[in-house]
Amino acid sequence: MTRSISDIRRGLAAGDFSSVEITQDYLSRIAQHNPALNCFISVTGDIALEQARQADAALATGEAAVLAGVPLAHKDLFCTDGVRTSCGSRILDNFIAPYDATVIERFKRDGAVMLGKTNMDEFAMGSSNENSYYGSVANPWNTRHVPGGSSGGSAAAVAAGLAPGATGTDTGGSIRQPAALCGVTGIKPTYGRVSRYGMIAYGSSLDQGGPFARSAEDCALLLQTMSGFDPRDSTSTEQAVPDYSAGLGQGIEGLKIGLPKEYFAEGLDSRIAGVIETAIAELRKLGAEIRDISLPNTSLSIPTYYVIAMAECSSNLSRMDGVRFGHRAENPVDLEDLYKRSRGEGFGAEVKRRIMIGTYALSAGYYDAYYLKAQQLRRMIKQDFQQAFADVDLILGPTTPETAFELGAKTDDPVSMYLQDIYTISLNLAGLPGMSLPVGFLDGLPVGMQLIGDYFDEAGLLNAAHCYQQVTDWHLQVPEAFR
């Protein structure tokens, strides 16, 4: 069950097994392990088997699409026609999406099979998957620890072999951080690379969808399907999509990699720093040139991010009002009551906190001090990166300051949770692509390394990660309980 997607494609093409067979395998693993891990909110067994049957038929004719028969899981933030799309929230617990997100349409077009919708922090707000209406997700490496968030369900599903690949979304690190904590590979592309149509919005100018898989090679395949211009998304770019798979294995001789001194300062666990150093040494052996750089405004990225994300989400979530869909309070006495109780009952505490801060930041008298100021700092942070990329091709650092912490360790203090995002957040502000790949373990828990690329250099990131993964095997490790 540690088959890669590439393996699956080869096996299906060779007739070693059928899509129905492997889909059934995954479905029974999900039935066996999901109670303990809680990765899935909805399992779409019937749909999956029907899609698998159709894929097998297409494969038999030799005219199959590129991902025909490959089973995947999707974060419950992507609208799936006829299937519950909850965003991990009570307010959408009864929301059967009446249309497919563009990303979902593309996976269907490419023949993939949908195993189910994965658990997540409510409305993508969280770094531990402890904010879900459907309960926490457990980290397959140690089930008393968090998998990371907000795409915790997808990361854990891939780590435990419940799906060979999964989709996630990343607004402040929600793909990269859980990838690091679960020991899998994940990539957040450049803003505008993947369509946001049907991807329920949290921070509209920050959100991007991206894949999780066991390797950069697999991520390249999934990202290929997800990427590309969508006329239904005004923020979608018309920039051409390169062939990510063809771009792998180019070697990284002479590649200039920058290490921001701010990412290796105090606050970083010294043992994590040690693991990262070992990974850097591997990259040196492959011919990469390592340089010191500076991203001076790094520390400002957290407050900047939270103001912008909270302001945008406070507005994005206003449509959840109990009128046209979703949870509606019983027997509302008037309109005010309908709104307040539907939303009060439907949203969890973290979501309510963020809506309120966002509302406050935008309100009369505070706009300049908060929102406008944050947008100015955002430009300064972007400029830091632009200056750095004048000197280097990629930027490298740890993905997270700690390995997976224990369930409940940070739920009493929202701010301590926000500080988990220190290395991942600034890229979302700048719109740059970033990925996390596993580079070691500490006390049995995975350590992730982050690579940051310049705009639309997903190919460069995937290639570098792939070269590293050809000479190391951290990405092939599987937690004992799930072998």
Partner 1 sequence: MSDWESVIGLEIHAQLATKSKIFSGASTAFGAEPNTQACAVDLGLPGVLPVLNREVVTMAIRFGVAIDAEIDHHSVFARKNYFYPDLPKGYQISQFELPIVGKGHIFISPSEGEHKEIGITRAHLEEDAGKSIHDQFPDQSGIDLNRAGTPLLEIVSEPDMRSAKEAVAYARKIHSLVRYLEICDGNMQEGSFRCDANVSVRRKGEQKLGTRAEIKNINSFRFLERAINYEIERQIELIEDGGSVVQETRLYDSERDETRSMRSKEEANDYRYFPDPDLLPVAITDEDIARIRAELPELPEQKKQRYVDELGLSDYNAELLTASRETASFFETALAEVPGQNALLANWVLGDLAGALNKANLDINDSPITPSMLAQLISRIADDTISGKIAKEVFEAMWQGEGGADEIIEARGLKQITDSGAIESLIDAVIAANPDQVEQFRAGKDKVLGFFVGQVMKQSQGKANPGQVNAILREKLKP
Partner 2 sequence: MTLKIDDVRNIAHLARLHIDEADIDRYVADLSSILDLVDQMNQVDSSGVAPLSNPLDATQRLRDDEVTESNQRDKFQAIAPDVSQGFYRVPKVIE
**Ranges within 238-267 binding partner 2 (CB under 8 A):** 238
Residues 183-212 that bind partner 2 (CB under 8 A): 191-192, 205
- 105 scored as a contact of partner 2 (CB under 8 A): no
**Segment near partner 1 (CB under 8 A), from 14-22, 280-288, 315-323, 430-438?**
315-323
Least distance to partner 2 from the beta carbon of 424, Å? 15
Nearer to partner 1, 95 or 482 (CB): 95
SS3 track for the chain:
CCCCHHHHHHHHHHCCCCHHHHHHHHHHHHHHHHHHHCCEEEECHHHHHHHHHHHHHHHHHCCCCCCCCCEEEEECCECECCEECCCCCHHHCCCECCCCCHHHHHHHHCCCEEEEEECCCHHHCCCCCCCCCCCCCCECCECCECCCCCCHHHHHHHHCCCCCEEEEEECCCCCHHHHHHHCCEEEECCCCCECCCCECCCCCCCCEEEEEECCHHHHHHHHHHHECCCCCCCCCCCCCCCCCCCCCCCCCCCCEEEEEHHHHCCCCCHHHHHHHHHHHHHHHHCCCEEEEECCCCHHHHHHHHHHHHHHHHHHHHHHCCCCCCCCCCCCCCCHHHHHHHHHHHHCCHHHHHHHHHHHHHHCCCCCHHHHHHHHHHHHHHHHHHHHHHCCCCEEEEECCCCCCCECCCCCCCHHHHHHHHCCCHHHHHHCCCEEEEEEEEECCEEEEEEEEECCCCHHHHHHHHHHHHHHCCHHHCCCHHHC
- 173 scored as a contact of partner 2 (CB under 8 A): no
- 377 scored as a contact of partner 2 (CB under 8 A): yes
Say if residues 209 and 167 touch (Cβ distance below 8 Å): yes
Contact residue for partner 2 among 25, 264, 373, 411 (CB under 8 A): 373
Residue 413, contacted partner among partner 1, partner 2, none, CB below 5-8 A by kind: partner 2
- 476 scored as a contact of partner 2 (CB under 8 A): no
- The site string for partner 1 over 174-213 (x = CB under 8 A, - otherwise) reads ----------------------xxxxxx-xxx--------
Residues 5-64 that bind partner 2 (CB under 8 A): none
Residue 156, contacted partner among partner 2, partner 1, none, CB below 5-8 A by kind: none
- 414 scored as a contact of partner 2 (CB under 8 A): yes
Least distance to partner 1 from the beta carbon of 372, Å? 9
Contact residue for partner 1 among 87, 115, 213, 288 (CB under 8 A): 87
Residues 324-383 that bind partner 1 (CB under 8 A): 324-325, 335, 339, 359, 362-364, 367, 371
Residue 322, contacted partner among partner 2, partner 1, none, CB below 5-8 A by kind: partner 2
Per the annotation, the verdict on 245 as an active-site residue is: no
**Segment near partner 2 (CB under 8 A), from 47-55, 124-132, 146-154, 292-300?**
292-300
Least distance to partner 1 from the beta carbon of 363, Å? 5
Nearer to partner 2, 240 or 333 (CB): 333
Per the annotation, the verdict on 75 as an active-site residue is: yes
Interface positions with partner 1 (CB under 8 A): 78-79, 85, 87, 92, 95, 97-99, 101, 196-201, 203-205, 231-235, 311-312, 315, 318-321, 323-325, 335, 339, 359, 362-364, 367, 371
